[in-house]
Amino acid sequence: MTKLLPPGEGSRLLIDGKLVAGGAGVFATVNPATEEVLGQAANADAADMDAAIAAARAAFDNTEWSRDHAFRARCLRQLRDALRDNIEELREITIAEVGAPRMLTSGPQLEGPIGDLGYFADLAESYEWVSDLGVAKPMGIPTARTLRREAIGVVGAITPWNFPHQINFAKLGPALAAGCTVVLKPAPDTPWVAALVGTVIAEQTDIPAGVINIVTSDDHQLGAQLVTDPRVDMISFTGSTQTGRTIMAGAAQSLKKVFLELGGKSAFIVLDDTDVAAAASYAGFTVCVHAGQGCALTTRLLVPREQYDTAVAAAAKSMGGIVPGDPNEPGTVCGPVISARQLERVQRYIDIARAEGGTIVTGGGSPDRERGYFIEPTLISGLSNTSTVAQEEIFGPVLVVIPHDGDDDAIRLANESPYGLSGEVWGTDQARIDHVVNGVRTGTLGVNGGIWYSADAPFGGYKQSGIGRELGVAGFEEYLETKLIATAQK
């Protein structure tokens, strides 16, 4: 097997089916666990982005890609299989560049999203692209109506660094299955994991030139260029709520469709009829996974007031036993955060918690390591739900414990947030669980440890956590337009 990235060589852009150098030269990609430069990534300029958009537009307008459902399904399966053939190199790059714990690459950091491409290949073949609405007589004219679903067109996909494969393929899979063409701009923190997928596409699949274009760059203005270009029909963005607002404003110039999966400050609700210590221990563990760098992780632990101390002690024991470590080690749960900038952000929030009167029960600083962007799992008690660290997304292994006074109060606290992305409920009485689930305004909820992530399950948020859904049939249909054809009957 040819190496996707020969030693010492930088990655390349994928534009119009060709692997090319970046017009702005190269920029460094860094291992967050060691702070060492891994190598160079192609650095695109505005002309490269323009060429990528032009290629995607031409591939959509001038080929049969959007209409040949069987061919698209074959290409998606071919891409899945080619990525699997290169899985070990992709795994090593993912661990090194993302700081993803090795254990997660068997699931949502790599192998899971690659496997999900098969779901969308199947959907391209089984979806009801044309449906018959029957004959009606509007204004007395007998008319046969046909409903047709068609690809929306050129999609600009802008993705973050925390789970890059999962998010890249959650956009590429449904968009390609729907018949769209795509310009993908990945985060500058993790350019290689996207660029290497581009190499596989160019060298090991039959995906036509221009259907997928991958543009790596450290210039955020290229994202703005993608958003405002009138040749782009839709923007699919995952990232911060603040950036989502900017994208909405930019997309409004051409009234293009926008899908947004944004921030979260999700609540882990513990009812008083369950094992509060066990629930709190689980909550403490989950917030440490991948150093807390997940928008849907539950970062507010809402526990019965009368068992507050028990919950704090259990969560502290769980989090205190997790030592940030080398993501290459099989047992590592909590690796580094992505960058020095992110490390400073997390530490700043911990300092704010102290200043607002919170108690740092465990953690609160960087572990004793010579290199790497590591932060200790940190548990905060003694603050209200309106405190800064209970309201703002931190994106680190930081958990805030907040007391509630019964089920309705827990619902109120959970909803007392600008976000509504995810959550968790632990209890034993099904009627009470249902009451809480019905009351919390959020896009996904786990119950007693249930896992909601799956290719066929839609994911997205309420309120400032986003617009639309990703994955599942609902996520696939985000990339479709609806056309009604009315034919007069004689």
Report percent pLDDT > 70 for the chain.
99
- For residues 180 and 276, membership in a common domain is answered with no
Q: Which two tokens stand for residue 22?
A: 């970046």
Rounded mean pLDDT, 29-42: 96
Measure the CA–CA gap between 202 and 88, rounded to whole angstroms: 19
- For residues 281 and 229, membership in a common domain is answered with no
- Sequence-distant (6+) residues with CB within 8 A of 88 are none
Q: Which two tokens stand for residue 197?
A: 């997928």
- For residues 258 and 271, membership in a common domain is answered with no
According to DSSP, the residues that pair with 158 across neighbouring strands are: 185, 237
- For residues 280 and 337, membership in a common domain is answered with yes
pLDDT attached to residue 370? 84
Q: Which two tokens stand for residue 127?
A: 């979806």
pLDDT attached to residue 490? 86
- For residues 339 and 479, membership in a common domain is answered with no
pLDDT grade for 51, boundaries at 50, 70 and 90: very high
pLDDT attached to residue 7? 54
- Does 370 participate in catalysis according to the annotation? no
Give a three-class secondary structure readout of the chain.
CCCCCCCCCCCCEEECCEEECECCEEEEEECCCCCCEEEEEECCCHHHHHHHHHHHHHHHHHCCCCCCHHHHHHHHHHHHHHHHHCHHHHHHHHHHHHCCCHHHHHCCCCHHHHHHHHHHHHHHHHCCCEEEEEEECHHHCCEEEEEEEEECCEEEEECCCCCHHHHHHHHHHHHHHHCCEEEEECCCCCHHHHHHHHHHHHHHCCCCCCCEEECCCCCCHHHHHHHHCCCCCEEEEECCHHHHHHHHHHHCCCCCEEEEECCCCEEEEECCCCCHHHHHHHHHHHCCHHHHCCCCCEEEEEEEHHHHHHHHHHHHHHHHCCCCCCCCCCCCCCCCCCCHHHHHHHHHHHHHHHHCCCEEEECCCCCCCCCCCCCCCEEEECCCCCCHHHHCCCCCCEEEEEEECCHHHHHHHHHCCCEECCEEEECCCHHHHHHHHHHCCCCCCEECCCCCCCCCCCECCEECCEECCECHHHHHHCCEEEEEEEEECC
Q: Which two tokens stand for residue 147?
A: 């409903």
Which candidate in 261, 376, 393, 424 is catalytic?
A: 261
Q: Does any domain span residue 4?
A: no
Domain that residue 216 falls in: 13-263+465-486
Q: Which of 238, 225, 378, 189 is nearest to 299 (CA)?
A: 378
Phi, psi of 421 (to 5 degrees): -95, -50
- For residues 380 and 255, membership in a common domain is answered with no
pLDDT attached to residue 9? 64
CATH number at residue 239: 3.40.605.10
- For residues 42 and 59, membership in a common domain is answered with yes
According to DSSP, the residues that pair with 304 across neighbouring strands are: 404
- The tally of domains found in the chain comes to 2
pLDDT attached to residue 369? 85
Phi, psi of 385 (to 5 degrees): -70, -15
Phi, psi of 247 (to 5 degrees): -65, -40
Residue 465: CB atoms within 10 A of its CB come to 28
Q: Does any domain span residue 251?
A: yes
Give the pLDDT confidence of 100-127 residue by residue, as tens digits. Answer: 999 999 999 999 999 999 999 999 999 9
Give the pLDDT confidence of 217-239 residue by residue, as tens digits. Answer: 999 999 999 999 999 999 999 99
The larger pLDDT score, comparing residue 370 to residue 75, is at 75
According to DSSP, the residues that pair with 19 across neighbouring strands are: 14
Measure the CA–CA gap between 380 and 319, rounded to whole angstroms: 11
Distances from the Cα of 449 to the Cαs of 80, 277, 286, 302, 453, in angstroms?
30, 14, 10, 15, 12
- Indicate yes or no: pTM above 0.75: yes
pLDDT attached to residue 10? 76
According to DSSP, the residues that pair with 404 across neighbouring strands are: 304
- For residues 123 and 110, membership in a common domain is answered with yes
- Sequence-distant (6+) residues with CB within 8 A of 386 are 416
Measure the CA–CA gap between 185 and 208, rounded to whole angstroms: 19
Give the pLDDT confidence of 307-316 residue by residue, as tens digits. Answer: 999 999 999 9
CATH number at residue 440: 3.40.309.10
Q: Does any domain span residue 321?
A: yes
Position of tokens 């692997």?
19
- For residues 41 and 181, membership in a common domain is answered with yes
- For residues 217 and 104, membership in a common domain is answered with yes
pLDDT of 1 above 50: no
Measure the CA–CA gap between 283 and 271, rounded to whole angstroms: 13
Report percent pLDDT > 90 for the chain.
97
pLDDT attached to residue 126? 98
pLDDT of 4 above 80: no
Q: Which two tokens stand for residue 356?
A: 């607002």
Q: Does any domain span residue 107?
A: yes
Q: Does any domain span residue 379?
A: yes
Q: Does any domain span residue 358?
A: yes
Q: Rg for the chain (alpha carbons), in Å?
A: 24
- For residues 79 and 196, membership in a common domain is answered with yes
pLDDT grade for 8, boundaries at 50, 70 and 90: low
Measure the CA–CA gap between 70 and 137, rounded to whole angstroms: 36
Give the pLDDT confidence of 190-225 residue by residue, as tens digits. Answer: 999 999 999 999 999 999 999 999 999 999 999 999
Q: Does any domain span residue 7?
A: no
According to DSSP, the residues that pair with 485 across neighbouring strands are: 146
pLDDT attached to residue 6? 60
Measure the CA–CA gap between 174 and 181, rounded to whole angstroms: 11
Q: Does any domain span residue 77?
A: yes
Mean pLDDT, rounded, of the chain:
97
- Sequence-distant (6+) residues with CB within 8 A of 409 are none
- For residues 255 and 274, membership in a common domain is answered with no
